[in-house]
Chain A
Amino acid sequence: MYMKDFHKDRSQLILIAEDNAGDRCLIEEATREIAVSFQLRFVSDGVELLEYLNREEPYQDDGLHPIPNLIILDHHMPRKNGLETLKALKQHEKWNRIPVIAYSTSQNQDVIGKYYQHGVSAYIEKKTELSELLDTIRFIEDFWFRIVNLPNPYSFW
């Protein structure tokens, strides 16, 4: 295990935009099972994600709705899909510093290429089997929370 000053730091937050309630439950179940070191919040699509960051109703309270260190976007979402949301984030003078991971069941190389063109940090395949999802979440935790240094969003907020 990567030992660099690592301790279970619950202050790191992942904000996930996912419209499918079943998938949200599965992800929550998986993170409970692993007892992950990060906090997890959900919004139901890209529009809601932008409302969250914008501090719009009902997200005004910073203590209850902290700014995330990492954002995860589902590709297929109503209103604003993952790619459109990514573009909006990367055009914003502050949010463009928050790394974004996109996920989808689609492995279309054109779609993946577009995500990278618009500044996604990484693109991962969506898992719907609990056992596979557990592996993916473990890997995200090991890499993105123990090896990578994520930005402190309040240093530029």
Chain B
Amino acid sequence: MDQHLSLWLIEDNMAIANLIPIALEDALLLPVDYRHFETGEAFSEAFHLIRSLAAPMPSLILLDMNLPDSNGLRLLSEVRQYADRISLPVIMFSSHQNEDLISMSYFQGANAFIEKPFDYDELMEILNGCISFWGNKRFS
């Protein structure tokens, strides 16, 4: 599937949100369609608009667990309740990990649960891994 790689980030921490496009360029050396949503509401609106237009979904979503107006698990289940969008890879992004949160994320259909990075190198590793496994939905 040689479709253009597109990544959506739902994250209220602007430091991370601003670093990701730089890291993506570093990691890939090719243009990536990147969209950032600061709130759950903004994401929700875009998601439902794309659904109603039957437009292409992003290749991959990175979803912050704690948002000012919502929580990641609720948004995840909102995405997963649409059978036509169930194959969309969603990676939960969390600043803390506990067993219940991790277990609940997989239960709700997250493809993976990842703790937020400490530094740029870690962010690069996360993005590299995500792109390898889900950039075209098949790791080879």
Given the contacts A109-B1, A124-B138, A2 and B125 also touching, CB distance less than 8 Å: yes
Interface assignment of B99: CB less than 8 Å from any CB of chain A: yes
The proximity string for B residues 115-128 relative to A, scoring 1 for CB distances below 8 Å and 0 otherwise, is: 10010001001100
Q: Which residues of A contact B107 (CB under 8 A)?
A: 96-97, 156
Closest chain B residue, CB of each to CB of A132:
B140
Closest chain A residue, CB of each to CB of B101:
A149
Q: How many Å from the CB of A108 to the closest CB on chain B?
A: 10
Q: When chains A and B are docked, how far (Å) is the Cα of A4 from the Cα of B123?
A: 12
Bin chain A's interface residue count.
20 to 34
Interface assignment of B129: CB less than 8 Å from any CB of chain A: yes
Interface assignment of B106: CB less than 8 Å from any CB of chain A: yes
Q: When chains A and B are docked, how far (Å) is the Cα of A96 from the Cα of B86?
A: 15
Q: Which residues of A contact B97 (CB under 8 A)?
A: 149
Interface assignment of A128: CB less than 8 Å from any CB of chain B: no
Q: How many Å from the CB of A117 to the closest CB on chain B?
A: 5
Q: Which residues of A contact B132 (CB under 8 A)?
A: 139, 143
Given the contacts A4-B118, A116-B137, A155 and B106 also touching, CB distance less than 8 Å: no
Docked-complex contact A155 and B137, CB < 8 angstroms: no
Interface centre among A2, A3, A107, A117, by most chain B C-beta atoms within 10 angstroms, is A2
Given the contacts A4-B122, A151-B103, A152-B102, A139 and B114 also touching, CB distance less than 8 Å: no
Given the contacts A121-B112, A125-B139, A139-B139, A2 and B99 also touching, CB distance less than 8 Å: no
Q: Which of the residues B100, B106, B125, B140 comes within 8 Å of A99, measured between beta carbons? A: B106
Interface assignment of B43: CB less than 8 Å from any CB of chain A: no
Q: Which residues of A contact B115 (CB under 8 A)?
A: 4, 149
Q: When chains A and B are docked, how far (Å) is the Cα of A150 from the Cα of B89?
A: 16
Interface assignment of B111: CB less than 8 Å from any CB of chain A: yes
The proximity string for A residues 105-149 relative to B, scoring 1 for CB distances below 8 Å and 0 otherwise, is: 001010011001101011111000000000010010011100111
Can you list 24 contacts pairing A with B, beta carbon distance less than 8 Å?
A2-B125, A3-B122, A4-B118, A112-B138, A116-B88, A116-B89, A117-B83, A117-B87, A119-B86, A121-B111, A123-B137, A123-B139, A136-B139, A139-B129, A142-B125, A147-B114, A148-B112, A148-B114, A148-B129, A149-B97, A151-B103, A151-B113, A152-B102, A155-B99
| Interface positions of B (Cβ within 8 A of A) | 1, 83, 86-89, 97, 99-100, 102-103, 106-107, 109, 111-115, 118, 122, 125-126, 129, 132-134, 137-140
| Interface positions of A (Cβ within 8 A of B) | 2-4, 96-99, 107, 109, 112-113, 116-117, 119, 121-125, 136, 139, 142-144, 147-152, 155-156
